[in-house]
Amino acid sequence: MPEDKPTSGQRGDPAADAVRQASQKASQQASQQASQHWDPHRYNRNAGFVAELGAPLLDLLQPAKGERVLDLGCGEGALTAKIAAAGAAVVGVDSSPEQVAAAKARGLDARVMNGEALTFEAEFDAVLSNAALHWMLDPDAVLRGVAAALKPGGRFVAEMGGQGNVETITQALFASLQARGADPVKACPWYFPAPEAYQARLEAAGFAVESIALIPRPTPLPGEIGGWLETFAEAFLKQVPADEGLALIAEVAERLRPSLCDSEGRWSADYVRLRFVARLAG
């Protein structure tokens, strides 16, 4: 279970502490995963940018013709399709049957699989993961599975939410839920590690880390913050009765407006990426 430490800036910050505590509660995993479902249409409407912004990962991955690549947390397959277009044989896995169905509809080899229980054995030259690992609250199980899936010397190239990711949004959700007597700590479904902590996990799983860094990346949203909350913060929204959901979203949006909405009404999210390249021992 992750016990990664917060940055000094986060220490004592209830929302950041809760992100960490959530990361420490593997026992909550099943219910947290059940509390987030992925609707490919809603996802495309509110989060189409996720795959677009994953382009730097492809530059790092350099998929080659004849290689076999695993896309871990492939979603509806936008990035998977780009790996296939580069000539590699790519398999996408995702825990969401709806997203996998959407990926299959693109003609991709996509399979429903829990990232914490991968079943591949020494069959991939590379594993890529974009914006998925922070939903998997047992990182050591994930890394064991990735290491097992790779051939000796295989590479693992990934980007996930890192320490401080969506902290403003998390704080607003916490404030509104606590004001309603709900317990957001229990609901928090995300793991945003610091580079040092994740590097230690990678090394313990048998990887040599070639690069790892936090990259603050405030990200313009295609619509209002409410769409982002509906798409990604379901686990928090479910802490209140269904008929209070819209009011909660509106209230959280008003808390966030001063910091995440500009004078022309354009919203952004305070993303911080953790990007790394690691290689399995040969």
Binding site for ligand BEZ (CB under 6 A): 131, 134, 161, 165-166, 190, 232, 271
Shortest spacing between CB 127 and ligand BEZ, in angstroms: 18
> Residue 272 phi/psi, 5° resolution?
-130, 115
Instruction: Give helix then strand counts, H and E, for the chain.
Output: 14, 7
Nearest to 55 by CA among 71, 90, 79: 79
Q: Residue 38 or residue 271: which is nearer to ligand BEZ going by CB?
A: 271
Phi, psi of 231 (to 5 degrees): -75, -40
Nearer to ligand BEZ, 108 or 229 (CB): 229
Task: Report the residue number, 134 or 279, with the smaller CB distance to ligand BEZ.
Answer: 134
Closest distance to ligand BEZ from the beta carbon of 151 (Å): 28
Q: Judge whether 148 and 37 are in contact, CB under 8 Å.
A: no
Report the nearest approach of ligand BEZ to the CB of residue 123 (Å): 28
Q: What is the rounded distance in angstroms from the CA atom of residue 42 to the CA atom of residue 23?
A: 26
The Cα–Cα gap between 277 and 145 comes to 17
Q: Give, in degrees to the nearest 5, the angle at Cα 128 between 144 and 185.
A: 65
Structure tokens at 235: 């686990």
**Nearest to ligand BEZ of 72, 131 (CB atom):** 131
> What whole-number distance in Å separates Cα of residue 50 and Cα of residue 68?
23
Nearer to ligand BEZ, 10 or 165 (CB): 165
Question: Looking at beta carbons only, is 33 or 124 nearer to ligand BEZ?
Answer: 33
Please, what is the minimum distance in Å from the beta carbon of residue 132 to ligand BEZ?
A: 8
Q: How far is the CB of 81 from ligand BEZ (least distance, A)?
A: 19
Measured from the CB of residue 141, what is the shortest distance to ligand BEZ in angstroms?
20
Complex with ligand BEZ: residue 199 or 231, whichever CB lies closer? 231
In the complex, the smallest distance separating the C-beta of residue 166 from ligand BEZ, rounded to whole angstroms, is 5
Nearest residue to the partner ligand BEZ, using Cβ? 161
The C-alpha torsion from 41 through 221 and 212 to 117, rounded to 10°, is: -20
**Alpha-carbon gap, residue 98 to 80, rounded angstroms:** 16
- Which phi and psi angles does 16 have, rounded to 5°? -65, -40
Residue 281 to residue 152: CA distance in whole angstroms = 6
